[in-house]
Amino acid sequence: MNLHCQDSSKESNSLWPLAQDTAVGEQLIAGKKLIDWQQANAPASSDAHQLENAWITQEDWQRLVASPSPAILKSTLGATLAWTGTDSTQDSAPSEATEVTASEHSFLIRFPWEFIQINEQIVSALSTNNFIGEVSPAAHIDGFVELGEGSRILPGVVIEGNVIIGKNCKVGPNCYLRGSTTIGDGCHIGQSVEIKNSIIGHGSSVGHLSYVGDSVIGSNANFGAGTITSNLRHDGSNHRSMVGGELTDTGRRKFGCIIGDGVHTGILTAIYPGRKLGPNTSTLPNGTVEEDIS
């Protein structure tokens, strides 16, 4: 499988505050880099090609390669995701190639909240536990967990659903992890913290008395005590987020925030749904994030 870039400058802007100085494939998803999952799903064929920012399930890859070559795999929105044949096949007219429509589970990654959807797909499919680290007998786990080397789950931790925790992490005491959550290497999730259906990047700390829901947190971020992300509108409709100066429908009824690398929040920070904090930004104590911070 070969990766191809597509308008990388536009992609970088739409994925802000993530993937600003690195390739899209470097994003942490379910304990690995996105590109590792892309390569694992794709067929081992030099005749298969995909866009760098395309997420394609194994089932949709199989449908594509089973079609006569050249063939093009398109999302339900009509965007090209992958193709077989020569490199120029993606620009071929429909009459020159077999067109295959992917399921809704395969799509072009255009916005940072779509990483949550990919993480949900992979983590929710876990079916076994893999404890390399240490789990306290006073912890309660109802789901499947992957726990990396050197990591510790302390007393009072409750896990509901499937969770992937990297290496050298400290989780607890008395915190609550639920949904399909990924925690990177070297993280600290502390006292009375709740993490729900989120991605926490490498080296980040959510130390105590905080809530992170349906969010993506970059690497080396630090949440001050009592930092709360809101993830549900009062009217129950989809969240919207500002992209390129326009409010964009995220398609998500539950959506918290997107936090870039190196962000620090002050104690008792409240973050409105759909807001984004740029890399290395910060908030003051008792602050309310009503708009994106760059």
Report, as residue numbers or ranges, the catalytic residues.
Answer: 208
Alpha-carbon span 159 to 129, nearest angstrom = 12
Q: What do you get for the CA distance between the two ends of the chain, in Å?
A: 36
Alpha-carbon span 129 to 139, nearest angstrom = 14
Distance, CA of 222 to chain centre: 18
Phi, psi of 40 (to 5 degrees): -70, -35
Does residue 206 sit in helix, strand or coil? strand
Label the pairing between strands 257-259 and 163-165: unpaired
Task: Tokens for 75, please give them.
Answer: 């999302």
Task: Tokens for 197, please give them.
Answer: 């259906």
Task: Tokens for 120, please give them.
Answer: 């949900």
Alpha-carbon span 264 to 277, nearest angstrom = 10
Alpha-carbon span 81 to 26, nearest angstrom = 19
Mention every residue, 6+ apart, whose C-beta is less than 8 A from residue 120: 179, 180, 197
Other beta carbons within 10 Å of 59 = 12
Give helix then strand counts, H and E, for the chain.
Answer: 4, 34
Task: Tokens for 215, please give them.
Answer: 């969010």
CB 18 within 8 A of CB 218: yes
